[in-house]
Structure 1
Amino acid sequence: MPIYRVWYRNNEEPLEFATPGRCSEAEMLDHVLEYERIERGAPATVPELIARHNLAPVRYTEDESEMNTIG
C-alpha cells in the first residue's frame, strides 16, 4: 500500500494518504481537491487543474522515493 505525500501551494506540511495501489498524478490532484473542498469542475488536464485552482507548485513522494513535480 503506497503512501503518498503531496505538497502544493508551497505548504510546509504535505497532504499524506495511502492507496491500495499506485496512484496517477490526476488521482493525486483529486485527493488534494477533495481535502481542500474544491470542486473539480469541467474536464481538464493535470496542468490545467493545477493552474485553475492555483495549486502550483505541486510535488510528491511515493513511499520514500525522491521528490517528483507534477505539471
Structure 2
Amino acid sequence: MTSPQPTDPQVEAAQGRIALWLDPEDLRWLSQHCCCADDATDEDKDRCGRLRFRASTGLHKQRALG
C-alpha cells in the first residue's frame, strides 16, 4: 500500500478546485449522507456520489497522516 501524498495547491488550483476545511465529524456525516431527492437526475446522483467519496477519502487520508 502506498502512503497518501500531500495535496499540491497549485495542481488543485489548475484543476479548478478550491480548499474546503471541515471538521472530521462534518466530513464523516457528509461521507454517509446524500440529500438527493427521489426525482434527482443521474448527474445530481453522480455529483452526490463524488462528494461522499471525497469526504470519505479525506477522512481516510487524515487518519493515515495523523
Under TM normalisation by the shorter chain, which class is it?
Answer: under 0.3
What is the TM-score with the length of structure 1 in the denominator?
A: 0.25
Which structure carries more helix by proportion?
2
Which structure carries more strand by proportion?
1
Query: Which has the greater radius of gyration?
Result: 2
